[in-house]
Amino acid sequence: MPASSPFAVVGHAAVRNWLSHAIASGRLAGSYLFLGPPGVGKRKLAVEFAAALRCKSPLHGWACGGCNECTRVAAGVHPNVRQFAKPEDARDLPVELVRDICEQASLTRLEPGQRVFIIDDADRFNESSANAFLKTLEEPPPQLTFVLLAGNAAQMLPTIISRCQTVRFSPLSAAELNQITRDWPALAEVDGRELLLRAAQGSAGKLERLLDSGALELAQNFIGSLKADPFKASEQLASALAKGLPADAAAELSRERLRDVLGIVAGLMRDQLTAGRDFAGTAPLLEKPSREPAGVDVLMNSLHRIEDLRERVDGNANLKLVCDALALALPG
Ligand SMILES: [Zn+2]
């Protein structure tokens, strides 16, 4: 990829190489499933792949980034490259949308040559939208490639997975995440940057959300007041979770915030484990320890309990009860 590439994909060199070989050898699958954690660059790479299929002067079998085809695909204005996603307020991919995709797939092409339809949220097909899609997915019209994007194969219908060639995406490495976030002013200013980077688990999208959600500050406040009074710390955390959130989405976003707080606290404890220090001495978030340091077994036990709590948050647990349990799960 040239330095001036408009696609801005970081990492995933193996995936890119593999796809460029598929293009070069003419062995394209009709449908691909890009599978991997959210926020690692699947959509961006799908767009770059679409450009590689259209590019007038490919470099080593991949998108040059500079020709008229590449430029229009990168700008999202190429009529042959379409992107679809679940509406924000919908739980699943609606059957109406999927019927529309199939109809557009069957229409005469606006411009000759390869077409690419990118469908996000492919782990959100419901039974009727999947049924509406299966025939088109199995036998796409000539010169049409589907690229489905999904985070969670466990949530996907096997009938969809089996009709696609799966391309797996890994989390970004620390160096790649650093490269992507080098110019993020909000991250440069934050106290606890390294902790956030680790809590993002190789996902730039997750890091962006963590920065926006204020979860780091909540975690810091919680841990700061934990030693003095665990129950008060829990009260404060629980009441801060919904602060500043739009009323119609507060329930879901509070849950997400608490999930992020748990991730940050777990990261902090892993730091302590690897550093061989005690949790109560967590600089710079805590004052000097006033008690015996927590041993490795205590930290491990707390980490397991936090993992349980994360599962409970993913389920439908009462958030206040989770905050209470978290306060009790941590070494004092
Ligand atoms: Zn090009």
Q: From the CA of 72, how far away is ligand 1's center (Å)?
A: 10
Q: From the CA of 62, how far away is ligand 1's center (Å)?
A: 8
Looking at per-residue pLDDT, the higher value among 297 and 19 belongs to 19
Q: From the CA of 64, how far away is ligand 1's center (Å)?
A: 4
Q: From the CA of 80, how far away is ligand 1's center (Å)?
A: 15
Q: From the CA of 98, how far away is ligand 1's center (Å)?
A: 30
User: Out of 3.40.50.970, 3.40.640.10, 3.40.50.300, 3.30.460.80, which CATH number does the structure's domain 13-168 have?
Assistant: 3.40.50.300
Mean pLDDT of the chain: 88
Hey, is 124 helix, strand or coil? Answer: helix
Q: From the CA of 119, how far away is ligand 1's center (Å)?
A: 22
β-partners of residue 117 are 82, 146
Map out the domains of the chain as residue ranges.
13-168, 214-329
Q: From the CA of 56, how far away is ligand 1's center (Å)?
A: 5
Q: From the CA of 158, how far away is ligand 1's center (Å)?
A: 35
Predicted confidence band at 314 (pLDDT cuts at 50, 70, 90)?
A: confident
Question: How far apart (Å, rounded) are the C-alpha atoms in residues 291 and 286?
Answer: 13
b (16+ CB within 10 A) / e for 94-107: bbebbeebbeebee
pLDDT at 172: 94
User: What pLDDT, in 10s, does the model give residues 214-265?
Assistant: 899 999 999 989 888 999 999 999 999 988 888 888 888 899 999 999 999 9
- Provide the sign of the torsion angle of the four alpha carbons 144, 148, 153, 158, taken in this order: negative
Q: From the CA of 69, how far away is ligand 1's center (Å)?
A: 6
Q: Which of 142, 139, 158 is nearest to 150 (CA)?
A: 158
Question: How far apart (Å, rounded) are the C-alpha atoms in residues 286 and 24?
Answer: 56
Q: From the CA of 55, how far away is ligand 1's center (Å)?
A: 4
Please state which of the ranges 3-17, 63-77, 110-124, 225-239 shows the lowest mean pLDDT.
3-17
Assigned token pair, 29: 């699958």
